[in-house]
């Protein structure tokens, strides 16, 4: 069609040109002589004003132009005297493409609560807030690919259906074609997965890391970027059952190189958002969180604090705080501890390293102290853990003995072990939770509001 996107019209439309636009009506006001319609097509947070001179249109023609309706207009692009925009459209043609009954359209002019908008996830992209979030989400996805492509990393597509359990956290969704009413059983009464589609128990992946490692041990520097699934029943503002994860994996990187990459990567993405999503960030800054843009700038301008888990525990023990979860060496850090370090103590992002091996996954490189592993978590203000990663154990015997200690069946990881048998190499990687990044960049406070269709316990409607 000959339509021009609203963003282009507002930014570079030629005054005096005949233009066409299509979009959804945000508001209509006016009197019997003139009607002003704010039109939005999602290309930008800004609406274009369309002016209807009522000597050229009838009341009847404009009846279908109500909040939520979809319309097509043509007219003259003129300088705008008062709409706050450079230009507006002086309409000479109107077609209502899709009406929206004003009495039942759920999105009204007044603001709506985030909770209400979650119940109408099919319509919430039409709000300013979700338009902004979705455009920023797109920009971040694009920037992630650009960052790695420019560095010579290769994008590896890890499988979504998998037979392996990368994190060993035991919170996986099962994929099955079995008839649940008549489950096939083995002689000892267990479900006979041999009878299922894959001839074994299949699950939705919790992480593409193990596959990324296979890629790194052939292509040197790779990354995955895909959906991952966790059946943990954690109903928090920072957990989803289906979330997207970016997992770079690099041969010949040690834990220091890994930290450097993680810090550079996060700063690149935030800078990219500031430079390319300015309108949307300004809107969010004004609407919800007037420190958002300052916080983003602060993070890109200051080095992250780096310390060990053991040092962090000492700080937390010395803190004059009533913890909900107790602090002691060996404890898994909770979000209250992580946020204390970042928001109260250091007042900037923190990278913690060398965690106790008991609270981390089997594949992490063991330190010589016999107690800690070369893990690294990046902690962010307002978020807590945004990245989890490590240097990987590349020594066959050490990896095997850890697998035995944790009673991981060798037959499940033989292929992973073989990479340590044939041409093993030191390597490292990490996982960035895409929605956690978006929480930070948009300033939204609930992870359900930075993904189009959130999947959480008891919520999978559409
Ligand atoms: O720390 P995690 O579990 O690490 C891994 O999965 C590794 N395999 C990553 C790697 O080394 N390649 O998860 C990584 C990140 C977390 O820091 C967090 O940002 C995010 O994924 N994450 C979640 N985001 C939303 N909802 C959940 N339930 C999440 N669980 C983890
Ligand atoms: Mg983690």
Ligand 1 atom closest to the CA of 232, numbered from 1: 28
* Band (461; pLDDT cuts 50, 70, 90): confident
The answer to whether 305 touches 345, Cβ cutoff 8 Å, is: no
Same domain, 229 and 82: no
Pocket test for ligand 1, best of 436, 438, 439, 457 (most atoms within 8 A of CB): 436
pLDDT reading at 48 higher than 90: yes
Q: 199-235 pLDDT, tens per residue?
A: 999 999 999 999 999 999 999 999 999 999 999 878 8
The DSSP secondary-structure symbol of 316 reads H
Same domain, 257 and 316: yes
In a domain, residue 216? The reply is: yes
Q: 145-192 pLDDT, tens per residue?
A: 999 999 999 999 999 999 888 777 668 999 999 999 999 999 999 999
Strands 372-380 and 350-356, how do they pair? antiparallel
**For 428-438, what is the mean pLDDT?**
98
Same domain, 328 and 292: yes
pLDDT reading at 432 higher than 90: yes
Ligand 1 atom closest to the CA of 377, numbered from 1: 17
Tokens encoding 286 = 């004004």
Same domain, 144 and 85: no
| Overall number of domains in the chain | 2
Residue bearing the CA closest to ligand 1, atom 15? 433
Residue bearing the CA closest to ligand 1, atom 23? 433
Please tell me the distance from the alpha carbon of residue 214 to that of residue 424, in angstroms, as a whole number: 10
Looking at the CA of 431, name the nearest ligand.
Answer: 1
In a domain, residue 186? The reply is: no
* Band (67; pLDDT cuts 50, 70, 90): very high
List residues bridging with 388 in a β-sheet.
Answer: 377, 431
The DSSP secondary-structure symbol of 95 reads E
Q: What is the largest CA-CA distance in the chain?
A: 86
Same domain, 315 and 350: yes
Same domain, 272 and 421: yes
The answer to whether 125 touches 134, Cβ cutoff 8 Å, is: yes
The answer to whether 366 touches 424, Cβ cutoff 8 Å, is: no
Residue bearing the CA closest to ligand 1, atom 5? 431
Would you state the pLDDT for residue 233?
Answer: 79
Q: 231-272 pLDDT, tens per residue?
A: 987 889 999 999 999 999 999 999 999 999 999 999 999 999
Pocket test for ligand 1, best of 214, 232, 245, 257 (most atoms within 8 A of CB): 245
The answer to whether 210 touches 164, Cβ cutoff 8 Å, is: yes
Looking at the CA of 438, name the nearest ligand.
Answer: 1
Would you state the pLDDT for residue 171?
Answer: 87
Q: Is this complex's ipTM strictly greater than 0.95?
A: yes
* Band (1; pLDDT cuts 50, 70, 90): low
Would you state the pLDDT for residue 168?
Answer: 76
Residue bearing the CA closest to ligand 1, atom 1? 388
Sheet holding 161-162, edge to edge: 161-162, 202-204, 174-175
In a domain, residue 106? The reply is: no
Would you state the pLDDT for residue 111?
Answer: 81
**For 315-331, what is the mean pLDDT?**
96
* Band (449; pLDDT cuts 50, 70, 90): very high
Centre a 10 Å sphere on the Cβ of residue 189 and count the other Cβ atoms it contains.
7
Alpha carbon of 412 to ligand 2 centroid (Å): 22
In a domain, residue 462? The reply is: no
Alpha carbon of 55 to ligand 1 centroid (Å): 61
- Residue 413: closest CA among 213, 252, 242: 213
Q: What is the CATH number of the domain that holds 347?
A: 3.30.930.10
The CB-side HSE value for 353 (13 A sphere, CA atoms) comes to: 18
Domain enclosing residue 251, as ranges: 124-171+206-449
In a domain, residue 68? The reply is: yes
Same domain, 353 and 250: yes
* Band (23; pLDDT cuts 50, 70, 90): very high
DSSP string across 349-413: -EEEEEEEGGGS-TTBPBPTTSSEEEEEEEEETTTEEEEEEEEB---HHHHHHHHHHTT--HHHH
The answer to whether 393 touches 366, Cβ cutoff 8 Å, is: yes
Q: 373-414 pLDDT, tens per residue?
A: 999 999 999 999 999 999 999 999 999 999 999 999 998 899
Same domain, 57 and 167: no
Q: What is the enclosing helix (H) or strand (E) of 91?
A: strand 87-98
Looking at the CA of 235, name the nearest ligand.
Answer: 1
Q: 99-134 pLDDT, tens per residue?
A: 999 889 999 877 899 999 999 999 999 999 999 999
Q: What is the enclosing helix (H) or strand (E) of 178?
A: none
In a domain, residue 188? The reply is: no
Same domain, 334 and 271: yes
Residue bearing the CA closest to ligand 1, atom 26? 239
Strands 70-79 and 48-53, how do they pair? unpaired
Same domain, 90 and 137: no
In a domain, residue 162? The reply is: yes
In a domain, residue 149? The reply is: yes
Please tell me the distance from the alpha carbon of residue 157 to that of residue 184, in angstroms, as a whole number: 33
Tokens encoding 28 = 């209509």
Residues with CB under 6 A from ligand 1: 166-167, 207, 209, 230, 239-240, 243, 245, 247, 385-390, 429-431, 433, 435-436
Helix (H, G, I), strand (E, B) or coil at 400: helix
Same domain, 145 and 66: no
Alpha carbon of 206 to ligand 2 centroid (Å): 12
Please tell me the distance from the alpha carbon of residue 18 to that of residue 30, in angstroms, as a whole number: 23
Give the mean pLDDT of the chain: 95
Same domain, 67 and 137: no
């Amino acid at each position: 069609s000959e339509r021009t996107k609203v963003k282009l019209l507002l930014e570079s439309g030629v005054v005096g040109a005949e233009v066409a636009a299509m979009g959804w009506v945000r508001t209509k006001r006016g009197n019997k002589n003139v009607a002003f319609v704010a039109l939005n097509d999602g290309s930008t947070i800004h609406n274009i004003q369309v002016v209807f001179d009522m000597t050229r249109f009838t009341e009847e023609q404009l009846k279908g132009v109500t909040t939520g309706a979809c319309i097509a207009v043509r007219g003259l692009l003129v300088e705008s005297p008062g709409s706050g925009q450079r230009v507006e459209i002086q309409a000479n043609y109107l077609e209502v493409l899709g009406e929206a009954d004003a009495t039942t359209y759920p999105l009204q002019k007044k603001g709506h609560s985030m909770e209400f908008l979650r119940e109408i996830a099919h319509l919430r992209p039409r709000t300013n807030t979700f338009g902004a979030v979705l455009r920023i989400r797109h920009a971040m996805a694009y920037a992630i690919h650009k960052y790695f492509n420019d560095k010579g990393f290769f994008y590896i597509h890890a499988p979504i259906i998998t037979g392996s359990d990368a994190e060993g956290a035991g919170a996986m969704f099962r994929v099955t074609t079995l008839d649940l009413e008549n489950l096939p059983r083995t002689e000892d009464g267990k479900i006979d997965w041999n009878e299922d589609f894959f001839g074994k128990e299949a699950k939705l992946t919790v992480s593409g890391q193990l596959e990324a490692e296979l890629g790194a041990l052939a292509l040197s520097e790779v990354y995955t970027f895909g959906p991952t699934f966790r059946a943990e029943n954690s109903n928090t503002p920072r957990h989803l059952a289906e979330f997207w994860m970016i997992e770079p994996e690099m041969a010949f990187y040690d834990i220091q190189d890994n930290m450097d990459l993680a810090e550079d990567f996060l700063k690149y993405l935030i800078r990219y958002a500031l430079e390319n999503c300015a309108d949307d960030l300004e809107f969010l800054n004004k609407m919800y969180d007037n420190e958002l843009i300052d916080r983003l700038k602060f993070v890109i301008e200051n080095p992250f604090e780096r310390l060990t888990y053991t040092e962090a525990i000492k700080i937390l023990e010395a803190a004059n705080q009533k913890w909900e979860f107790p602090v002691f060496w060996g404890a898994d850090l909770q979000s209250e501890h992580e946020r204390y370090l970042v928001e109260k103590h250091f007042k900037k992002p923190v990278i913690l390293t060398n965690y106790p091996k008991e609270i981390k996954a089997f594949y992490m490189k063991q330190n010589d102290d016999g107690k800690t592993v070369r893990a690294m978590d990046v902690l962010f203000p307002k978020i807590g853990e945004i990245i989890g990663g490590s240097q990987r154990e590349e020594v066959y015997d050490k990896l095997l003995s850890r697998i035995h200690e944790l009673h991981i069946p060798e037959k499940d990881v033989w292929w992973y072990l073989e990479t340590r048998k044939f041409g093993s190499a030191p390597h490292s990687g990490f996982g960035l939770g895409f929605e956690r990044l978006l929480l930070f960049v948009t300033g939204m406070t609930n992870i359900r509001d930075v993904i189009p269709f959130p999947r959480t316990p008891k919520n999978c409607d559409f």
